[in-house]
Amino acid sequence: MPWVTTSSVDALCISTRDGLAQLGRTGARFGIPQAGQQRSLVNETARQRFRQSATDEERSRLSKYDDESDVGLYRALEMLRWPLCFDELVGNGFGPQEHPASVTRTVSGDWLTAMSGHVMRGGRHFTEFTITAEEPRPFVSLGIIRPVSLTNGIGLEADWEGSVNPVHVASNYKSAVSEKLRARRTANWGNSYVHCCTYHCFEGQCRWTDWINTGVAWPDWQGQEGLVGSGTIGLLLDLDEGTLSVFKNGRLCGVMKDGMDGEYCWFVALCSACKISLSRGLAPK
């Protein structure tokens, strides 16, 4: 007879993202495996919930890490289903954030950066950035970055020198930031040295960095086009193929960069006055 029945699992279903983890911390009966059991009650609940509800596409995006609990994997599934938002805003010059999925700056100046906290670890992910520009050609970069904090232990003035754009970081430019970001590498970053990669709206350039070198980070790519005025830029991160593709106003421009592996988050960097919103979409076939 199984130690956890379907009815007991259903009785423990909790709708909030952190509910199972909180339950596990509440008492040993739920959070710690009992004698002869491989999983705690909470982890078994999470495992069954994942198996019952995850679609094939969701499973392709959420391969389980060796050291990851079933609760952690189920929490990642729920986060995958939540709307994207900007979780970290870094720099002086952002206007009031009217909605979690949009950022605004009213005047041009030093670079500012806004990051999403959603971590992409596998499969295909498509996000569309809507740009409402106040200048003929927005000076904006859109792309992916390793899941690191740009503020924890990194000073806005002392390290960033007031201008925050992680794709510009190298060992000979903002060296303190370079060292601190690289020190946060984990096994989940995989084998790729592409730690930050963006589409630069002004000319359509591909800008990427390993946070060490400069000089080879802005290659031309087939299909390169800048964005004139307002519009939408879609980015397709395919971690099965290791590629980042660009869609301009719904039209495929092409693969901008390859060689991606491991975990990434979405982010935007703004140097000109504009408003940017992001939304998750269906990955184009």
Spell out the domain ranges in the chain. 6-81, 86-281
Q: What is 64-114 written as a DSSP string?
A: PPTT--HHHHHHHHHHHHSPP-EEEEESS-B---SSTTEEEESS--S-EEE
pLDDT of residue 213: 82
pLDDT (tens, 9 = 90+) of the chain, 285 residues, equals 222 323 333 333 334 345 554 544 444 444 444 444 456 788 888 899 999 999 999 999 998 999 999 999 999 999 999 999 999 999 999 999 999 999 999 898 999 999 999 999 999 999 999 999 888 889 999 999 999 999 999 999 999 999 999 999 999 899 999 999 999 999 999 999 999 999 999 999 999 999 998 645 577 899 999 999 999 999 999 999 999 999 999 999 999 999 999 999 999 999 999 999 999 988 777
Which pairs with CB-CB distance under 8 Å and at least 24 residues apart come from 13-22?
Answer: 13/45, 13/49, 17/75, 17/78, 17/79, 17/82, 18/75, 20/45, 20/46, 20/71, 20/74, 20/75, 21/71, 21/75
pLDDT of residue 136: 84
- Could you give the count of Cα atoms lying within 13 Å of 123 in the half-sphere of its Cβ? 18
Which residue in 125, 123, 167 sits closest to 270, CA to CA?
A: 167
- What would the CATH number be for the domain defined by 86-281? 2.60.120.920
The DSSP 8-state label assigned to residue 211 in this structure reads: S
pTM (two decimals): 0.86
Which residue in 176, 169, 235 sits closest to 204, CA to CA?
A: 235
